[in-house]
Structure 1
Amino acid sequence: MKFRAKIIDVGCLNHFTRVVNTVSKLSKACVLRLTCDHLFFVLSGKVASGGVSMWCELAQVNFFDEFQLEGVSADANEIFLELAPENLSRALKTAQNARSVKIKLTKKNCPCLTLAAELPSLSGVSRVVTHDIPVDVIPRRLWHDFREPQMPDYDVSIYLPPLKTMKSVVDRMKNLSNYLVMEANLNGEMNLKIETDLVSVTTHFKELGNPPWGEDGSQSTSASHRDSEFMAQTRLDIRKLQQFLTGQQVNPSRAMCNIVHNRILHLIFLHEDVSLQYFIPAVV
């Protein structure tokens, strides 16, 4: 089992750092799945028990100048590692001006992702700063717990408003309540609402648009039978939504969400070479 990769382009390094920073804001621990073509950061929370889950997918060719992988076996050419993304984020922050960054799987006192950054110096002699990030190797029998989540049979899918605007609204609402109701319909309308014994506040968004899903442009089974005026809603822990909006640094070209009425909010951020999915369960 071997893994080594190298980043030379500073733009790719900065982009990869932003993605890792986003992941580190969303989870204290996650699984890094490595394949020959992709990297995945996976948080497999149990939605039924109130946990969030995350799936972040990166095409390795858009980030790495060199990428070599030998998985656990010929028929399973993958590696699953559990790590603290904050440790990887801190290591990358020291490498922002690096000439190159090498990442490889090593065996020290424990399995590690070793990050070696070649930094320039005034003397002309390069310096190499090395970080050993402890990881746990996930055995193959547990891999099925970290596969891509299926898109839920949603009631409404809608594009999100500008994320800075949405974050500003959620930040203010958090001062008034611990819970937020997010609702939307197939006419491109979305509302963020809080209701307490003392105050009721609603922010309205219109003309957001509803994304077509599937090759034929169809909506899901649930959505296709819905009245376009029907407001599907989900009541959320406002802190989980705020954490997601505060932590994201992916700068998506498209941001949307799917709502399963009274069950799940499924957020989707798409960049040309990164996709990020985040699932927040409803609270009663």
Structure 2
Amino acid sequence: MKFEAVMNEDTAVREFLNVSLSLQKLGKACILRLTKNKMYFIVSEEKLGPRRPMVWCELPVAFYFKDYKIQDNDDIILELSTSLLARTCSIFKQNAKMIKMKLLTPADATYLTFEMELMLEEMRIRRCVHDIPVELVARKYWTDYNEEPVFNDFHVSIQMPKLKSIKNVVEKIKTLGQSVTVSANRTGKLTLEINTNTVKLAAHFADLNVNSFAQEEVSNINEDDDKVSATVDLKQLVMFLSGMQLMDCPLAVCSIVQGKMVKLFLEEPGILKLQIFMFELTI
């Protein structure tokens, strides 16, 4: 089992750093799936039993790596600490000009190794090596990570406003309750609402483009305002938005299954696809 990749373009280095810093906020550990054409970072729920995906991030190899080699074009699936990954990638800020990633498998452990060349003053180069311990995922569990989650029953998909504006709202209301109701209607209004015994408030984002709206398929839609909604964990939404270093994605879509789930989809074409899944909160 061999893997080696070289990254030396400034834009690719910066984007990879942003991804690693985001992952650190979204979960303690993540799955890294290496394939011939794409690299995936997957964060699942931290609980016993079947682990539903919370984050599914897809990076195209062609954008990030000048050289990319994986033995026999076979998949490799690893589990690693997001904090160690972020700590290692933070070194990229020190004017990194070349980063080589490779998998080392000595007898006692397995490591994802980063060999970095940092440009110093007077054209001097400092070489730095970081080893991140990883665990190989047994093949019997690969089915959990081979296929991205697909949900075909969204009742509404609406393009989101700038994520920074949503982040500012949830940061201000994060102490007011445990849950937030996310809703959207056919006229292009996205609403974040908190309703408790002591406070009721809502933030509205209007005039957004609606990609799809399936009213006839919703059994318990609110007929008064023609909206689809789901109630999710407010702390989880805050965690996602505060963790993301990717606030300038040109495409950001919120999709809702009535009373069941909210999905956020972010894309920088040719650079990154990120899906975040939040399921209906059970209290």
- TM (norm. structure 2) is 0.89
Question: What is the rounded CA distance, in whole Å, between the counterparts of 2:252 and 2:67 in structure 1?
Answer: 30
**Offset of residue 241 of structure 1:** 0.4
Q: Are the structure 2 counterparts of residues 50 and 169 from structure 1 closer, same or farther at C-alpha, using a change threshold of 3 Å?
A: farther
One-letter amino acid of the counterpart of residue 158, structure 1: I
Deviations 1:192-247 (A, max 9, x none): 111111221111221111125xxxxx969837xx8795211111110000111111
Hey, what does 1:69 align to over in structure 2? 70
Deviations 1:148-189 (A, max 9, x none): 101241111111122111111111111211211111112211
Q: Are the structure 2 counterparts of residues 50 and 183 from structure 1 closer, same or farther at C-alpha, using a change threshold of 3 Å?
A: farther
Question: What is the rounded CA distance, in whole Å, between the counterparts of 2:137 and 2:50 in structure 1?
Answer: 23
Q: Are the structure 2 counterparts of residues 211 and 136 from structure 1 closer, same or farther at C-alpha, using a change threshold of 3 Å?
A: same
One-letter amino acid of the counterpart of residue 11, structure 1: T
Hey, what does 1:102 align to over in structure 2? 100
- Between stretches 87-96 and 260-269, larger displacement belongs to 87-96
Question: What is the rounded CA distance, in whole Å, between the counterparts of 1:90 and 1:239 in structure 2?
Answer: 24
Hey, what does 1:197 align to over in structure 2? 197
3-state SS of paired residue (1:151): coil
Question: What is the rounded CA distance, in whole Å, between the counterparts of 1:40 and 1:228 in structure 2?
Answer: 42
Hey, what does 1:157 align to over in structure 2? 157
Question: What is the rounded CA distance, in whole Å, between the counterparts of 2:27 and 2:261 in structure 1?
Answer: 19
Q: Are the structure 2 counterparts of residues 219 and 69 from structure 1 closer, same or farther at C-alpha, using a change threshold of 3 Å?
A: farther
Deviations 1:235-267 (A, max 9, x none): 111000011111111231111111111111111
Question: What is the rounded CA distance, in whole Å, between the counterparts of 2:206 and 2:123 in structure 1?
Answer: 57
Whether 2:23 is the aligned partner of 1:26: answer no
Hey, what does 1:215 align to over in structure 2? none
One-letter amino acid of the counterpart of residue 84, structure 1: S
- Contact (CA 8 Å) 2:55, 2:277: kept in 1 or not? yes
Hey, what does 1:111 align to over in structure 2? 110
Deviations 1:72-107 (A, max 9, x none): xx7xx1100101122111111112312201000012
Whether 2:263 is the aligned partner of 1:266: answer yes
Hey, what does 2:226 align to over in structure 1? 230
**Offset of residue 46 of structure 1:** 8.1
Question: What is the rounded CA distance, in whole Å, between the counterparts of 2:263 and 2:8 in structure 1?
Answer: 35
Question: What is the rounded CA distance, in whole Å, between the counterparts of 1:154 and 1:124 in structure 2?
Answer: 54
Hey, what does 2:275 align to over in structure 1? 277
Hey, what does 2:88 align to over in structure 1? 91
Whether 2:126 is the aligned partner of 1:127: answer yes
Hey, what does 2:79 align to over in structure 1? 82
- Between stretches 274-283 and 175-184, larger displacement belongs to 175-184
One-letter amino acid of the counterpart of residue 87, structure 1: L
One-letter amino acid of the counterpart of residue 239, structure 1: K
Between Structure 1 and Structure 2, the one with more strand by share is 2
Question: What is the rounded CA distance, in whole Å, between the counterparts of 2:82 and 2:217 in structure 1?
Answer: 36
Question: What is the rounded CA distance, in whole Å, between the counterparts of 2:23 and 2:224 in structure 1?
Answer: 35
Question: What is the rounded CA distance, in whole Å, between the counterparts of 1:138 and 1:37 in structure 2?
Answer: 20
- Between stretches 117-126 and 31-40, larger displacement belongs to 117-126
Deviations 1:36-88 (A, max 9, x none): 100000123389989661110010110111100115xx7xx110010112211
Q: How many residues align?
A: 274
- Contact (CA 8 Å) 2:182, 2:232: kept in 1 or not? yes
One-letter amino acid of the counterpart of residue 145, structure 1: D
One-letter amino acid of the counterpart of residue 119, structure 2: P
Whether 2:253 is the aligned partner of 1:256: answer yes
Structure 2: gaps of 5 or more residues: none
**Offset of residue 120 of structure 1:** 2.3
Structure 1: gaps of 5 or more residues: 213-217
Q: Are the structure 2 counterparts of residues 44 and 152 from structure 1 closer, same or farther at C-alpha, using a change threshold of 3 Å?
A: farther
3-state SS of paired residue (2:240): helix
Hey, what does 1:139 align to over in structure 2? 138
3-state SS of paired residue (1:11): helix
Question: What is the rounded CA distance, in whole Å, between the counterparts of 1:6 and 1:221 in structure 2?
Answer: 51
**Offset of residue 18 of structure 1:** 0.6
